[in-house]
Amino acid sequence: MSITQGKWKVTNDGLHIYSEDTELDIATCPITTTRTPDRKEAEANANLIAAAPELLEAAVELRDHLKSCDQEIWLNNRAGEMLLKAITKAEG
């Protein structure tokens, strides 16, 4: 899997996400005038997108740690299934 490298950050306007290392644009969370998302929701979406690489890294680290410690039983519950499903979704 290849994603834009670097820490993803939200711009000062709270609506655009970019890579701090490469300065490449990642995404924009638009505000529409006719329906939601309103500004607060768009900013929340931008913050979540910006955190995505770190969340994925943490999820993969946890999965790998549980497997290496012979603790895969912890992946066989609802939370574990959600973790594995999210990793699979993120990795395509």
Q: Nearest 5°: CA angle at 7, between 63 and 16?
A: 115
Distance CA 7, CA 25 (A): 12
Domain boundaries in the chain?
A: 8-91
The residue type found at 71 is Q
Amino acid at 82: M
Report the predicted TM-score, pTM, of the whole model to 2 decimal places: 0.80
The pLDDT > 90 percentage for the chain reads 39
Per residue in 19-55, pLDDT (tens digit) is 998 888 999 988 766 666 688 888 888 999 999 999 9
Q: What does the DSSP assignment read for 15-38?
A: SEEEETTT--EEEE----SSSS--
> Which of 14, 75, 23, 19 lies closest to 52, judged by CA?
19
